[in-house]
Amino acid sequence: MAITAEAVKRLREMSGAPMMECKRALEETDGDVERAFTVLRKRGQATAAKKALRRAADGVVGAYIHAGGKIGVLVEVNCETDFVARNEEFQQLVHDVAMQICATDPRFIRKEDVTPEILAREREILEAEAARSGKPPEVIQRIVEGKLGKFYEEACLYEQHFIKDTAGNLTVGELIASKIAKFGENIAVRRFSRFKVGEGLSGPAEAEPSDSAAS
């Protein structure tokens, strides 16, 4: 069947993949955009997995300040070469990741970063909640596993749904995987810091410095 330019454009917006990759995926799936999106996600994840062990020592430190100046984010996103680091699309990715962190306040970058202690505590809380339902143990375990999946989606940056994807089909990890496939380089979020005005203040305000101290 003929692949329309509108379908290619829609798939490109959903996946971030190059136009020709979108066209090929649509041809493979007889023009079904949702199935083509799944094809592209699998390809991106496979490519990302192959390149994950490659050293990414270049990159960009990006910043995002939310309107009103009350929340700000610094994030380091690494790639392999300065050529990619200077690419406008890569820099847009860094900006989008910073904006994601600002909006969703993740605690970790990846699922693997969740410490065993935190995971054990989260599982204990969920098991206690589920046990109060009176359901059989095997059902309780399924409930707990489902809620742990939700915990990862909320707490881990790569597992979060990308906020600019209004359809809710694309995670941040899949977005990054699509850029790895496009640029042919390993790309990874290395670290971030999120600042919110007044956050963490619990005691009395520090005294203003005296004139003698300031001089």
Q: Is the pLDDT of residue 213 over 50?
A: no
Confidence band for 202, pLDDT divided at 50, 70 and 90: low
Confidence of residue 204 (pLDDT cuts 50, 70, 90): low
Please report which confidence band the pLDDT of residue 16 belongs to, taking 50, 70 and 90 as the band edges.
low
Return the C-alpha torsion angle 196, 197, 202, 208, nearest 10: 150
- Please tell me the pTM assigned to this model: 0.73
In the predicted model, what is the mean pLDDT of residues 128-149? 86
What is the chain's alpha carbon radius of gyration, rounded to the nearest angstrom? 22
Q: From CA 94, how far away is CA 109, in angstroms rounded?
A: 14
